[in-house]
Amino acid sequence: MFIADYSAKNIYDEMFSSEGYPRKSYDFVKTKMESLGGIELVKRSTSAERALMSLGITFTLYGDGGEQERIMPFDVIPRIVPSEEWVSLEKGLKQRIQALNLFLTDIYGEGKILKDKIIPRDMIESSSGFLKQCIGLKPPKDIWIHITGTDLVRDGAGAFHVLEDNLRCPSGVSYVLENREVMKRTFPELFEKLNIRQVYDYPYHLRSMLENLTDVVDPVIAVWTPGVYNSAYYEHSFLAQKMGVYLVEGSDLIVENHKVYMKTTKGLRKVDVIYRRIDDTFMDQSSFRPDSLLGVKGIFEAYKRGNVALANAPGTGVADDKVIYSYVPKIIKYYLGEEPIIPNVPTYLCSEGPDLQFVLENIHNLVVKAANGAGGYGMIIGPKSTKQEQEDFKELIKADPRNYIAQPVLNLSTVPTLIADKIESRHVDLRPFILYGKDIYVMPGGLTRVALRKGSLVVNSSQGGGSKDTWVLG
Amino acid sequence: MLSRVAESVFWMNRYIERAENYSRFIDVNHQLSLDLNEQVPNQWLPLVHTTGDVELFEKRYSEPSPLNVIRFMTFDEENPNSIFQCLSRARENARTIRENISTSMWEVLNEFYLLIKDYRKVYMESSDLHGDTVSMDLSEFLSTVRKSCQSFYGCSDATISHDEVWNFSLLGRFLERADKTTRILDMKYFILLPSVHDVGSTLDLLQWLSLLKSASAHEMYNQKYKRVDPTDIAEFLILNETFPRSIFFCIQEMQEALEKISGIKEGLPRNLAQDATTVYLNRLRSENIKSIFDKGLHEYLDDIQIELNHIGAKIVERFFTN
């Protein structure tokens, strides 16, 4: 039995309890995997990878061997979230999105939360995601964050925490959908037996959420991509295709009389709703960065006048600033009068004197991250760093304390993972996707990212991470 | 549809069509060379003439040996028209319009590309690269290319709506095909016979026959004509109304695609691309093979290429730039 010598001690493992027994939700999967055996599992894993290659779900690596196309590493052992846990996660995520949305409305509007001194005003104004151009803005139906990818992790005791909010252009939902298709082909017997909540209708939810942003009947909808060289290009075209909408680049769009048009073979055609997958400040050279090569001049003004709807709204970046993140529990309490259902990871703000002192003295035990870093860049993992790296990072922090936060090193939960022809434990996180339209929809499951290097806690695909299918049962 | 998308669809199809034609050219020439042994030593250079890339070829290779020509036309990365480059570009175009085509179409093209990449790896790593035999199974490779191109056509036909995307596909495919048919016919102009007395000889006929095969036309030709005759072959490949690789057929298909794109069949206002196509089609209708030979076949083929370029330019102007 090749899973037998798997060890899950001193950690929360998704499949096994600390006494080494499989958890109830994994019972069937474990039995099935064992009866298949290692050789069969490797065989199925190889054919799953081949299917992903055929579908061209790849990213390109540039190195000394020239260009290499790779699939995002995909592990065939699923990560299962039991339904009772999911119910509370779903509630917690809805609560969080609702509060963050009220927060955005407030800080670009009346600013009550600042007047009431729940959050210091300069915390907001010094955030690079805060766009003063958005002050006074009223997005359609008062919704700012239409699409969210929230990163969740378990602590050593197995409790879920929010690690960060991604409120601008969260990526990865296409992998969730493609992984699921491949898993259905790879393990039909598991899908026949288990009641796995489906995810295939996400694009329909996304589309109807986008339609909800306008009163135009039969609106023209487009996904706006920076282009084919963007690392998430596959996802952009995937979503456009599944929704049956246009995929446009900046050069396909033009603004005339404060309306947005796309250039078609039959002349200009008005665009009503845009799901933009391009950063705020690159959207419009006349309102934001004048050096953007990707933007469309005048689109922000067209948006302000209500002639085009944008998802997510510009300016949402202030709410996923990692410093503002530390205030989210207070934000939930302030706007909803409720306790947060999913807690934050304890966070130290380097801009706060005592916190800064603590961080500088304990950097070897902490994870320190830049407030606006992403993709595993601009961070240091204390216990895995050298003395010199720690000293260098301290200088960075001291030079710009507002830009750094620190958190204890979390012992992320693990899931058995097929490494070569053996099962080993690997750390995972979870990114569910949430859509805010007429109602708030939480996709059951989400993207489980897995750190493929032994012992590594870094799950980002840009750092060699892979993914697993996530199953919510029942 | 977006102008950018229309342009990518157009080029994706041109590249696929080009790859298919190249694979046939090489294969036929290869077969011919096996028949002829060493009777005609330099029959590979005309092949390069057919592609219109002689200048580039001569810059990269010292002599038109079979290996050099084959390498140039199959895997050479410096040749933008080699089969490998055509495939890479077709796939890159497909990637940028992925949301406009079906998954099965994309899968066919993507798998095709991965396959060619594997062939290329074997070819490039082969130690015989500079020897005098073709190291890989050339016929198998070329037949894979042809079959894959055809599955791509079949798959597009059966899995996407026959709307604008489809019609721009046809425009690209038939414009490229017409161009290649003129080049195939012109190949004979570049093939040197050992002496003038050999006109009408077995060798001469063999060459005309392989030319028909290059257009994958010999079977349909045989159904219509009794013998291999240069005049009949030219007539078939230029003026036949039902053979899918004849110039007439290609132009007719383009006219139809353009009508469907603009939604205007008869009368005005037609766009410039439609005008150019219709004018040219009417001219073809008024011609016969005798008048063509009177003008000189080579000169006449040059003329067709100028017309095709003109139509291509009008398509670009009307649909792709705004």
pLDDT band at A141; cut points 50, 70, 90: very high
Task: State the average pLDDT over residues A167-192.
Answer: 94
- What does A364-417 look like in DSSP terms, one character per residue? GGEEEEETT--TT-SEEEGGGS-HHHHHHHHHHHHH-GGGEEEEEPP---EEEE
Reported as half-sphere exposure (CB side, CA atoms, 13 A), residue B208 has a value of: 20
Task: State the average pLDDT over residues B167-194.
Answer: 90
B121–chain A Cβ distance below 8 A for any pair:
no
Task: State the average pLDDT over residues A117-134.
Answer: 93
- What does A77-126 look like in DSSP terms, one character per residue? EEEEE-HHHHHHHHHHHHHHHHHHHHHHHHHTTT-HHHHTTSS-HHHHHT
Query: Number of Cβ pairs closer than 8 Å across A and B?
Result: 56
B73–chain A Cβ distance below 8 A for any pair:
no
Q: What is the pLDDT of residue A389?
A: 92
pTM of the predicted structure, to 2 decimals:
0.91
A459–chain B Cβ distance below 8 A for any pair:
no
A248–chain B Cβ distance below 8 A for any pair:
yes
pLDDT band at B65; cut points 50, 70, 90: confident
Q: Which residue has the tokens 């846990």?
A: A85
Task: State the average pLDDT over residues B153-170.
Answer: 96
**C-alpha distance from residue B154 to each of B86, B144, B149 (Å):** 19, 15, 9
Query: Are A263 and B2 an interchain contact pair (Cβ–Cβ within 8 Å)?
Result: yes
Domain boundaries, chain B: 1-160, 162-321
- SS3 call for A22: strand
Query: Are B98 and A249 an interchain contact pair (Cβ–Cβ within 8 Å)?
Result: no
Query: Are A252 and B95 an interchain contact pair (Cβ–Cβ within 8 Å)?
Result: no
* C-alpha dihedral (A128, A133, A134, A140), degrees to nearest 10: -130
Peptide bond into B269 cis (omega under 30): yes
- For residues A279 and A169, give the distance between their C-alpha atoms in angstroms, rounded to a whole number: 7
**Chain A nearest C-alpha distance from B135 (Å):** 24
CB distance B15 to B86 below 8 Å: yes
Which of B3, B92, B99 is nearest residue A240 as measured by Cβ atoms? B99
**Chain A nearest C-alpha distance from B79 (Å):** 18
- For residues A454 and A14, give the distance between their C-alpha atoms in angstroms, rounded to a whole number: 17
B92–chain A Cβ distance below 8 A for any pair:
yes
- Determine the length of chain A: 474
Residues of A in contact with B93 (CB under 8 A): none
CB distance B259 to B307 below 8 Å: no
Q: What is the pLDDT of residue B268?
A: 62
Give B139's contacts (C-beta < 8 A, 6+ positions apart): B27, B30
Q: Has residue B209 got a pLDDT over 80?
A: yes
CB distance A179 to A239 below 8 Å: no
- For residues A303 and A298, give the distance between their C-alpha atoms in angstroms, rounded to a whole number: 9
- 0.85 surpassed by complex ipTM: yes
Q: What is the pLDDT of residue B38?
A: 63
Query: Are B95 and A238 an interchain contact pair (Cβ–Cβ within 8 Å)?
Result: no
Query: Are B114 and A53 an interchain contact pair (Cβ–Cβ within 8 Å)?
Result: yes
Across chain B, mean pLDDT equals 90
Region A200-311: CATH code: 3.40.50.11290
Task: State the average pLDDT over residues B302-317.
Answer: 95
CB distance B48 to B64 below 8 Å: yes
Span A427-449, pLDDT tens digits = 999 999 999 999 999 999 999 99
Task: State the average pLDDT over residues B68-83.
Answer: 94
Reported as half-sphere exposure (CB side, CA atoms, 13 A), residue A124 has a value of: 24
Task: State the average pLDDT over residues B77-100.
Answer: 95
Which residues of A, range 52-91, sit inside 8 Å of B by Cβ?
53-56
**C-alpha distance from residue B314 to each of A311, B174, B307 (Å):** 38, 15, 11
Which residues of B, range 158-187, sit inside 8 Å of A by Cβ?
164, 168
Q: What is the pLDDT of residue A65?
A: 62
Span A54-87, pLDDT tens digits = 988 887 666 656 667 788 899 999 999 999 999 9
pLDDT band at B153; cut points 50, 70, 90: very high
CB distance B21 to B177 below 8 Å: yes
Residues of A in contact with B166 (CB under 8 A): none
Residue B62 class from Cβ within 10 Å (0-12 exposed, 13-18 middle, 19+ buried)? exposed
Question: What φ, ψ does residue B297 adopt, rounded to 5°?
Answer: -60, -45
Span A204-246, pLDDT tens digits = 999 999 999 999 999 999 999 999 988 889 999 999 999 999 9
Identity of the amino acid at B232 = D
Task: State the average pLDDT over residues A320-334.
Answer: 95
Q: What is the pLDDT of residue A460?
A: 79
Task: State the average pLDDT over residues A373-401.
Answer: 86
Query: Are B4 and A265 an interchain contact pair (Cβ–Cβ within 8 Å)?
Result: no
**Chain B nearest C-alpha distance from A172 (Å):** 17
Identity of the amino acid at A287 = S
- For residues A474 and B19, give the distance between their C-alpha atoms in angstroms, rounded to a whole number: 51
Which of B99, B103, B261 is nearest residue A265 as measured by Cβ atoms? B261
Percent of chain A, pLDDT > 90?
A: 78
Task: Indicate the DSSP class of residue A466.
Answer: E
Which of A241, A246, A251 is nearest residue B98 as measured by Cβ atoms? A241
- SS3 call for A57: coil
Mutation for testing the A interface, residue in B91, B99, B101, B124 having most A CBs under 10 Å: B99
CB atoms within 10 A of CB A195: 11
Give A132's contacts (C-beta < 8 A, 6+ positions apart): none
Q: What is the pLDDT of residue A62?
A: 65
- For residues A96 and A335, give the distance between their C-alpha atoms in angstroms, rounded to a whole number: 10
A238–chain B Cβ distance below 8 A for any pair:
yes
Which of B99, B111, B114 is nearest residue A237 as measured by Cβ atoms? B99
pLDDT band at A107; cut points 50, 70, 90: very high
- What does A352-371 look like in DSSP terms, one character per residue? SHHHHHHHHHHGGGEEEEET
Give B101's contacts (C-beta < 8 A, 6+ positions apart): B94, B156, B160, B165
Give B89's contacts (C-beta < 8 A, 6+ positions apart): B11, B15, B80
**C-alpha distance from residue A124 to each of A130, A356, A369, B247 (Å):** 7, 19, 18, 68
* C-alpha dihedral (A174, A179, A185, A188), degrees to nearest 10: -120
Query: Are B99 and A264 an interchain contact pair (Cβ–Cβ within 8 Å)?
Result: no
Q: Has residue B54 got a pLDDT over 70?
A: yes
Task: State the average pLDDT over residues A277-298.
Answer: 92
Q: Which chain A residue has its CA at the smallest distance from B101's CA? A: A241
Percent of chain B, pLDDT > 90?
A: 69
CB distance A364 to A389 below 8 Å: no
Residues of B in contact with A263 (CB under 8 A): 2-4, 322
pLDDT band at A114; cut points 50, 70, 90: very high
B317–chain A Cβ distance below 8 A for any pair:
no
Q: Has residue B122 got a pLDDT over 90?
A: no
Helix (H) or strand (E) holding A338: none
pLDDT band at A184; cut points 50, 70, 90: very high
Residues of B in contact with A55 (CB under 8 A): 103, 106-107, 110
Region A348-408: CATH code: 3.30.1490.270
Reported as half-sphere exposure (CB side, CA atoms, 13 A), residue B264 has a value of: 12
pLDDT band at A1; cut points 50, 70, 90: very low
Query: Are A249 and B106 an interchain contact pair (Cβ–Cβ within 8 Å)?
Result: no
Q: What is the pLDDT of residue A231?
A: 85
Q: Which residue has the tokens 């710009």?
A: A400
Span B236-277, pLDDT tens digits = 999 999 999 999 999 999 999 999 998 876 666 678 899 999
Nearest to A314 by CA among A200, A90, A172, A146: A146
- For residues B228 and B214, give the distance between their C-alpha atoms in angstroms, rounded to a whole number: 15
Nearest to A95 by CA among A321, A337, A430, A315: A337
Q: What is the pLDDT of residue B36?
A: 77
Span B273-295, pLDDT tens digits = 999 999 999 999 999 999 999 99
What is the radius of gyration, based on Cα positions, of chain A?
23
Identity of the amino acid at A338 = E
Query: Are B4 and A263 an interchain contact pair (Cβ–Cβ within 8 Å)?
Result: yes
Across chain A, mean pLDDT equals 92
CA A171 to chain centre: 6
Domain boundaries, chain A: 1-197+317-345+413-473, 200-311, 348-408
Span A351-378, pLDDT tens digits = 888 999 999 999 999 999 988 766 667 7
Query: Are A54 and B98 an interchain contact pair (Cβ–Cβ within 8 Å)?
Result: no
- For residues B273 and A129, give the distance between their C-alpha atoms in angstroms, rounded to a whole number: 49
Q: What is the 3-state secondary structure (H, E, C) of chain B?
A: CEHHHHHHHHHHHHHHHHHHHHHHHHHHHHHHHHHHCCCCCCCCHHHHHHHCCHHHHHHHCCCCCHHHHHHHHHCCCCCCCCHHHHHHHHHHHHHHCHHHCCHHHHHHHHHHHHHHHHHHHHHHHCHHHHCCCCCCCHHHHHHHHHHHHHHHHHHHHHHCCCCHHHHHHHHHHHHHHHHHHHHHHHHHHHCCCCCHHHCCCHHHHHHHHHHHHHCCCHHHHHHHCCCCCHHHHHHHHHHCCCCCCCHHHHHHHHHHHHHHHHCCCCCCCCCHHHHHHHHHHHHHHCCCHHHHHHHCHHHHHHHHHHHHHHHHHHHHHHHHCC
Q: What is the pLDDT of residue B322?
A: 66
Peptide bond into A312 cis (omega under 30): yes
What is the radius of gyration, based on Cα positions, of chain B?
20
